[in-house]
Structures are given as structure tokens and as C-alpha cells.
Amino acid sequence: MNTKHYIWVLCLFSLQLSAQKADTVRANFLYKSFKSAMRNNPEQAALFKDSLEQEAKLSGDASLIAQAYSAEGLAQYYKSDYYKAREALQNSIALYDSLGMEMELSRVLNTQGVVLKYLGEYEEATNTHLKSLEIKRALGMPVGDIVASLGNLGVIQMEMRNLDRSTQYYEEVLELSIEHGLERSEYIARGNLAGNYGDMGEYEKAESEYLKVIDYYNSKEDHRNEARGINSLGALYFQMDNIGKAKANYLRANEINKRHNLKMFEALTTRNLGKVAMKEENYDAALTYFQTAQALSVETGTLARNVGDYINIANALAALGRFEEAYEYRRVHFEKHDSIFNKERAEQISALEIRYESERNAADLALQKEEIKTLNAQKKAESLKKTIYAGGMFSFLAVAGGLFFGFRQRIKRNRIAREKQEEIYQNEIEHKKKELASQTLHLVQKNTFLEELQENLQALRQSPEKFKMEFRRIAMLLKKEKASDRDWETFKTYFSEVHNDFDQKLKTLADKITEKEIRLAAFLRMNLTTKEIAATMNVLPDSILKSKYRLKKKLGLEQETDLVEFLNSL
């Protein structure tokens, strides 16, 4: 190839690269403009999206096509058409995955998880969010991305009525958001926590948070979330049996929803107005509200919400004396409810979370092992240094015997310093070993039990005719898992050794503390959830919540003091 030809090819290649770069820059601009306009100006957002799709098609660039699919998925999500949203996002996920673009993949997975949740596919939604979170943490992505996944996992747990676990997610999001100045994430977390506070009967805290949230979204002209907050405040007043305030807030929210074509939230507020009408004994109006809400749920694909519409319509029909129709709607309700919220599905979702946490803990264990190796290496290095130093000093003293007494004190000071340093290393090693043993014990016990229980459930699923036999086997397994007094004493002894006489410290703080309360405190110290503790102690979760309150009171802790955080400090 002559020089002129080479230069011509090089120039052409450079022009191609410049064109590709320009395509990417334009596409990124269009995508950001689309997302910015999506909340408050859907018509303008649609123009940006259409331009992005055209840009992607003309370029033939797979990454731009994936970006266009992502925009289409978001657009359908905001229109509340979750079926189309899921399809578009899945195309985007497949392309980003094949291209190895993990950061973009994690963000689209997060959106897909939200869509799946609205479609009532809780298990798949949980799995999708956990996968997104895993990628984000591995890449060290911004905190805003991390809290998005944590918050969405909290929402799923809330909808599955695991309020304790849900609140843990929300509190983590709130803490991270405040720490890093993520204002929008902070108010999303506040709104979610307010919902949990209301469900737990803490009405004043819930009302205070909702009012802050509504003011914030109003100042930002975010109509979608403003209406959502107003509706939630109405639901809180409904819980408090303040029907007048509830109705006023529902009507206010519904007016915003209709004005801005927010059909999914219109279904929600319409459904709530139906509940108010039932309270007012206006059953004809209630039936109309519920039927409208059901039609909107079907249109938007919010199947999880649609399940509740059947029972609401059944109740209205029964109140009107139309019992045959009511019975049929009730039958369909339970049929649909079991398909989405059945116990096995809830257990599978919990297992997904446990598996994810177990993998993270296993990684922590590996890291701790490496730390122990490092500390041991440091200890050996100090010993070697001591040997060399001592040998050098011996030679020096042999030659300069007359200076022996002058250096004697210096040697003594060096020896004491070395011994102290060795003691520090040794203490650190022992501490790491204790923590390692504690976490390993926890992981092995939990995973062994889960695997055995899962095997029995699978056997039951495959052979329904063996129900009695398999049910008896599962019952025996659960009974075996429940710690006997002797097992508890063994565990308590080990736990006290690892956690520095934990039970004695509790008895010092509260001399009337019971053995059952010590056991509860130990399980909380091991970061078990309320559901896990209830299963271990063979009681209902509500009983554990009441026991936690009594324990907190017995330890003399202030209301705002976190019990688990206090126990971890002992």
C-alpha cells in the first residue's frame, strides 16, 4: 500500500470513528432529554424517544438500539402499560448482556424489577432486583443506583407484608440518601417508611412523613408522586377511621391523576373511594368505584391490584343483596390470590434473599480469612525482625562489651514495644477467628435447614397423593429444628464466648431479664429477621414484635434508640 493510499484509508477510518462518536453523543443527549421530560411533559418526551429510536436504527449500533429499547420500556411504564414495558425492557437487557455493558444492564434490570412487581410476579421481581444490586456493588456504582435497588426490594417485602424486613431496607436507603445528599431518594424512602409506620400503628410519625413528602413533590411539580403521597395520606386517615379527611385526600389525588392521565394511580384512588363509600353505606356508589378500578387495573396490567378488586366487588354485591354474583367474585378472588401470594412463593422469595445474603456473607468470610493470613504474616515478620535485631545486638555487644549497660535500657524498651505489638496482632487474629466462627455457624445452620426443608417441599409438590406422609415429615423437621433447652444452653455458651459474655452483660443491665428474652436478644444480635426468629422460637411474628418492645423497655432504652444497634454494641 503506497503512502497516499494509507493516508486516505486512515482518514476514512477516523471519519467513521468520529461519526460513531457523534451518533453516541446525540443518542445520549436524546435519552437524557427523554428521561428529564418524561415525568412532567410526556408529549415532549415522546418526541425525544422517537428521535432516539430513529438515531439507533440509522446507526445500526447495538448499544444505541439497547438504549432505545430502554427508553421505550420506560415510556410504557409511565403509561402504566406493563406488558409492553416488560417486553421492551427484556430486549434491552438481552442486548446489554450480550455486549457486556454491565452498568447499563444493572439499571435496566432495576426498572424491569419494578415492572414485574406491578404485574404481580414477585419472585421474578426479587430475583431481578438482587441481580441488579449484585452488579452495582461489584462495579462500585454510585450510591444513587444502590439505593434504587434497596428501595425496590423494600417495596416487594412490604407488599408481601414482611414489614420488619421492608423497614430495614427503607431505613438503609434513608440513611445512605441523607449521607450522600440524594434528595429525591430521601423522600421516596420517607414516603415508604410512612406507609410502614401507618401499618404498624405509629400514626403521628406516618402523618408527619407524608406531609413532608407531599410538600417536596409539590415544590418539584412532580404530579405523579404528589398524587401518590396525597393518596397515601388519605389511606392513613382511613386507617385512623377519619373518613372525612380520607375522602378529601382521595378526591384531591384523583383529580391530579385524571388531569395528568395517570391511570394506574387513578385506579388506586378510585378503589379507595369505593372503600369510603362502603363505610358510608353507599353501596351502589361503592360498586361503581370498584368496577371502574377493576377496568383500569386490567387496562394497565396491574394484576396484583386487580386481585383485590374481585373481593371489593364481592363485598359491595353482598351488601346490595346480590349474593350469587358476590359468591362468584369471591371464588375468583381466592383463586387469583393463591396464584400470586401463595405461601410457597413467599418462601421462594425469602430463599432468594437468604441465598443472596449468604453469598455476600461467604465473600465476607473469605475476606476475613485473608485478613487473618495477613495478620499472621505480619506477626511472623515481627518475629523475624526480632531475631535479626537480637542477633545484630548480640554481635554488637560482643564487640562493644563496654557499652552493654548503656544499651540495656534501650533493649528493654524495644522488647516491651515488640511484645505489645505482637499482643495487638494476636488479639486482632483471635477477634477475626471468633467472628469467622460465629458467621460460619450461622450460615451452616441456616443453609442446612433450608436445603432439607426445600427438598421436602419439592417432594410434596411432585407427589400430592403423599401429602399426609410428607406433611408429617416436614412437621418433624420443623420440630427438630426448634432448639431444645439443652441445645440452647450449648448455643448460649458458645455465643457468650464469641460475643464476650453477652448474656451476663444483659443481666447486668436488667437483672429481671428472662431466659426467653436473652434468647431473643441473641437472635437479634445475629441479625435474624422477625420472621426467622418467630419460626425458631415457634411463635407468631406479632409476638416477636411485642417481645422486642418489652425487651427494649426492660433495658431502659429510649424510644428512638435502635434495639438491634444497641445489642450489637454490647
Percent of the chain with pLDDT strictly greater than 90: 28
Convert the pLDDT of each residue in 384-429 to its tens digit.
Answer: 544 444 444 444 344 444 444 444 555 556 666 666 666 666 666 5
Query: Contact, 524 vs 567, CB < 8 A?
Result: yes
Q: What is the 3-state secondary structure (H, E, C) of 305-356?
A: HHHHHHHHHHHHHHHCCCHHHHHHHHHHHHHHHHHHHCHHHHHHHHHHHHHH
Give Cβ neighbours of residue 264 (< 8 Å, ≥ 6 apart).
Answer: 80, 118, 296, 300, 302
Query: Contact, 80 vs 116, CB < 8 A?
Result: no
Q: What is the mean pLDDT of residues 258-283?
A: 90
**Among 168-177, 306-315, 503-512, 528-537, whose mean pLDDT is lowest?**
528-537
Residue type for position 151: G
Here the cell at position 76 is 410504557
Residue type for position 466: K
Locate the domains of the chain by residue range: 241-341, 343-481, 486-570
CA pair distance 112, 104, nearest whole angstrom: 12
pLDDT given for residue 35 in this prediction: 78
CA pair distance 56, 58, nearest whole angstrom: 6
| Burial of residue 169, with CB atoms counted within 10 A of its CB: 0-12 exposed, 13-18 middle, 19 or more buried | buried
Residue given cell 435519552 in the structure block: 31
**H or E segment to which residue 559 belongs:** none
Give, as one character, the DSSP assignment of residue 208.
Answer: H
Domain 241-341 has CATH 1.25.40.10: yes
CA pair distance 115, 301, nearest whole angstrom: 10
Residue type for position 14: S
Architecture of the domain spanning 486-570: 3-Layer(aba) Sandwich (3.40)
More confident residue, 236 or 387: 236
Kindly write down the DSSP assignment for every residue of 221-286, as one continuous string.
T-HHHHHHHHHHHHHHHHHTT-HHHHHHHHHHHHHHHHHTT-HHHHHHHHHHHHHHHHHTT-HHHH
CA dihedral over 58, 63, 65, 67, signed as positive or negative: negative
More confident residue, 343 or 553: 553
**Among 5-9, 121-125, 382-386, whose mean pLDDT is lowest?**
5-9
Give Cβ neighbours of residue 66 (< 8 Å, ≥ 6 apart).
Answer: 91, 92, 95, 96, 99, 101, 104, 108
Residue given cell 409506620 in the structure block: 197
pLDDT given for residue 11 in this prediction: 45
Residue 283's CB is within 10 A of a number of other CB atoms, namely 19
Convert the pLDDT of each residue in 135-178 to its tens digit.
Answer: 999 999 999 999 999 999 999 998 888 888 999 999 999 999 99
Here the cell at position 242 is 377519619
